Amino acid sequence: MQMNVPIQLSNDFIASYEKALLEMTQQVVEKVQLDSDYKPYMNKKEAAQYIGVSFNTFQKLEKMGLPIIEIDGIRLVRKQDIDDFLDEHKNTMK
């Protein structure tokens, strides 16, 4: 047998709950906007900024196998390749 118990919530609780939901929603929207600010193909400096590392650290990742596209001396990195590379290495990085 199922029994329903009515619950009364205070206006303060409802307001704080709505505020928390709004803040979480704004954080998600900001993250999506930040991710969409990056082009699908970036130069190495932009790619280093995308993942939040120095240029030298980015070059170390390149030596570890991060795919780089080179066309007529122009070196580009595909955003999806960066994401895939980091996903593949997330358990081995210390």
Write the DSSP assignment of 51-84 as a string of letters.
Answer: HT--HHHHHHHHHTT---EEETTEEEEEHHHHHH
pLDDT tens digits along 30-58: 776 666 677 899 999 999 999 999 999 99
Of the chain, the end-to-end C-alpha distance in Å amounts to 53
The per-residue pLDDT of the chain, averaged, comes to: 88
pLDDT at 92 over 60: no
Q: What are the boundaries of each domain within the chain?
A: 10-39, 41-89
pTM of the predicted protein model: 0.58
Structure tokens at 20: 């928390």
Closest CA to 68 of 46, 52, 38: 46
